[in-house]
Amino acid sequence: MSEKKSWEKKKERVTEITKTMDEAIESYFETPEQMKEYLSFMSKFYDYSPRNAALIHNQFRGANAVGSFKFWKEKGYSVKKGEKGIQVLVPNKTVPKYKDEKGKWKNIKYANEKEKKLIEKGELEKRGSKLYFGVGHVFDISQTNATAKDLPDIFPNRWLEGNVKDYSSMMESLEKIGEDLEVTIGEPFGELGSAKGAYYYAVGIGKGGNGHIGLNPRNSELQNVKTLIHELAHAKLHNIKQVNHNLSNAEKEFQAEMTAFSVASYFGIDTSEYSLGYLAN
């Protein structure tokens, strides 16, 4: 087969893949059954105040389903080793106290009959309970051993689970593309939360670089491959050196995710379970 025909065949395959996803997006919707499952799932988690919600999202971007260590244990899951808790403010109350005849403050429930009568008469000083806030810790579902199959289909932060055939070769090839784009690939510069990866577009600019891609260490092989393709698409299409910066974030995300889906599909890696909902959004 000539090089031209081979290229045309590859182009036809990619066109076929993107057409399939376009059609799937057009027909995508969330059924009442899906929504019921999702709402039932989310109702199991704690309801946090606006202040705590802000605290959670500042520490763990994209967190949607969080619970304490005890909560996850009771649900049959465990927090992964090495995961750091997300700090929240926990309301508590001090116990009512009274000052005994020696001037010492004591828990009012330990007062004897004589002291109780003196308290009632106002002859012993009493101090009521007060509200105060302590620090507690919660963990997002992505920090536990719960997998995608444990979550409703429409859960926004589901993680792709699974391995990839020839994973090392695939990652080496993608890293070579990163080198060609003058993009470094490695650890993220901070906690990514439920985000699967990040493209730090300004890193290395002015020093011959074109940004850095950080992958979430929680990713499976399948998630890593899909995410790296997605972030490389950002590096290719949306880097700071590009002339056209008029695209919205939604348009940029659509381009990057469609690229990730198409490239992964071309190599026989199915990411439609994740990509369809993302693209439909």
Question: Does position 24 have pLDDT exceeding 90, yes or no?
Answer: no
- According to the model, what pLDDT value does residue 10 have? 84
- With vertex at residue 195, the alpha carbon angle to CA 43 and CA 18, rounded to the nearest 5 degrees, is 100
For 26-73, the pLDDT digits (tens) are 887 778 888 888 888 888 888 888 889 999 989 999 898 999 999 999
pLDDT class for 243, splitting at 50, 70, 90? low
Selection from 234, 223, 147 nearest residue 183 by Cα: 234
- According to the model, what pLDDT value does residue 83 have? 96
pLDDT class for 155, splitting at 50, 70, 90? confident
- According to the model, what pLDDT value does residue 214 have? 97
Angle of helix 221-237 relative to helix 249-266, nearest 10 degrees?
A: 130
Average pLDDT in the 111-127 region? Answer: 84
CB 171 within 8 A of CB 228: yes
Across the strands, what pairs with 106? 98
CB 263 within 8 A of CB 15: no
Per-residue exposure over 182-206, b if at least 16 CB sit within 10 Å of its own CB, e if not: bbbbeebeeebbbbbbbbbbebeee
Across the strands, what pairs with 93? 131
Say which range, 92-101, 191-200, 222-231, 241-250, has the weakest mean pLDDT: 241-250
CB 212 within 8 A of CB 203: yes
Residues above pLDDT 70, as percent of the chain: 97
- According to the model, what pLDDT value does residue 78 have? 96
CA 119, CA 124: separation in Å to the nearest integer? Answer: 5
Query: Does residue 185 or residue 281 have the better pLDDT?
Result: 185
